Amino acid sequence: MDDTHLITLLSGFCFDFTHMFAPGGLKDEELDALLPQLQAAEKGLSYIRKEGRAYHHLSKDGVPEAVYFTRLPYVAEDHPNTPQLMTQLEAFGKKVSQGFDVVLFSGVGGSYLGGKVLYDCYQSEFWTHHDTPVPKFFFVGNNMDTEDMKNIGASLLAMAAAVKEQEGRKLRVMLVPISKSGTTMEPTTGFLFFYERCQKHADQIELSVTVVTDPAQKDGPLMRLSKAYDWEVFPIPYGIGGRFSVLSTPGLIVAATLGMNLSQLLAGAANMDEVCRGSDWRRNPALFGAAVKYLAARDHGASIEVFMPYAMRLKALGEWYVQLLAESLGKRQDRNGKAVFYGRTPLVAIGTTDMHAQTQLHQDGIRDKVVQFLFIDSLKGKIHLHNPFPEVEALRPYENMDVGRALEIAMEANEEALMSDGRMSALYRLPQLDEFYLGQIFYYLMLSIAYEGELANVDAFDQPGVEVYKKIMRRKLGK
């Protein structure tokens, strides 16, 4: 294999962009010609790292706003993640895991998706160590689906009845609303509904509340209520947009409650930050990834990215990445105010499930896609089949089959099929899934998207398009 387009870190994390350069795909000369933009992109990220600012970035109110996501891996007094915050998070995690039956996280967007990734990964069969008991988790406030709300409410009452019958006590529930402003509709709806439902059944449910919000919003509902009811408050840090917040309080509070090692999660991110520096695309995997997808979209018409992990539990990672990419790169104007209508469309597929659903389109449809594969090596060797029907000839090849290796072969076949028709794909390969590698993949994806924003000269840290529907909705609701 040509390793010119493959970067393997000392941690074992491998970035394989080989099939982006197959016949019909990119050429090295295109990347070399992009050097001035690559140098400018690296300069832009260096400015963010040093100054905590992004060129021409303003808040939705039109004032300069900090960009601190590159400081998240490093715990320090003047960083978003302070030593005091880490101590508070770890204490909260122990308190909830040891003293509560249920925890309800009410958040939407970046206040939900990152935490859902952490939960799904931790509950998966390929998590490397999983010996900490955790309460029952519910993620609410990410939609206003009334059936879903009613069903979760019914589940709480059923659990409360069982605990009362079996142990003679109340069901202990921790409700955690997560909202920077304290007024976001979906998490506010979830918070109000489940608070009222639990209080209504106070004879069966013992409710506690912990708030995650912006402490600067002193007149915000969550800050006012926390003061009135003496609820514990965790800060959403300044300079961290929701889609970049998984390694700050909204994500870390979920990780702490799961019993994850927060230091290792941030250590993985810090390691990735150290290796993703410099304008040489052959040595900087985040810049390399940003460059090939930028060129694929700009010059080859491949403006759709299909994020395709070969693991059911990583579907949430794909959904998190969809928000990260879409909100960061989908922009009407560049940073000079020129109309550019830039963006790539992210989609999620799961191997092998969607090989029986989407792959027909990927293989024979319009040539407008890059398929981004993700594989976890530790999936292999865990299950070897035994065929109890040796008399059936068609089933004999399944005897002693390594299911994880078969999963990998399916992915390799998908890669090769796409390459045979000149269709571009790339592969992220992790040795295993634990806090360190999860921190690596989160931070890599955030950094790569930030680099692409620099290459496209768009503000990767605002989201003016979102405000349009919000204003209409507020007017319709009479707010």
Residue 293 known to be catalytic: no
Determine the Cα–Cα distance for residues 125 and 116; give it in Å rounded to an integer. Answer: 16
**Residue 198 DSSP label:** H
Determine the Cα–Cα distance for residues 30 and 355; give it in Å rounded to an integer. Answer: 31
- Give me the catalytic one of 50, 218, 338, 356: 356
Residue 382 tokens, joined: 């865990």
Residue 408 known to be catalytic: no
Interhelix angle 146-167/185-200, rounded to 10 degrees, is 30
Whole-angstrom CA distances from 129 to 122, 125, 169, 261, 263 are 9, 10, 32, 11, 15
What 3 state SS string does 235-292 have?
ECCCCCCHHHCCCCHHHHHHHHHHCCCHHHHHHHHHHHHHHCCCCCCCCCHHHHHHHH
Longest dimension (CA), the chain: 74
Per DSSP bridges, beta strands 171-177 and 102-106 are parallel
Contact call for residues 376 and 432 (beta carbons, < 8 A): yes
Give the closest residue to 348 by CA, choosing from 376, 389, 313: 313
Determine the Cα–Cα distance for residues 314 and 308; give it in Å rounded to an integer. Answer: 9
Q: Which position has the token pair 């690596």?
A: 440
- Give me the catalytic one of 327, 408, 415, 435: 327
Distance of CA 228 to the CA centre of its chain: 34
Residue 27 known to be catalytic: no
Which residues are known catalytic residues?
Answer: 327, 356, 470
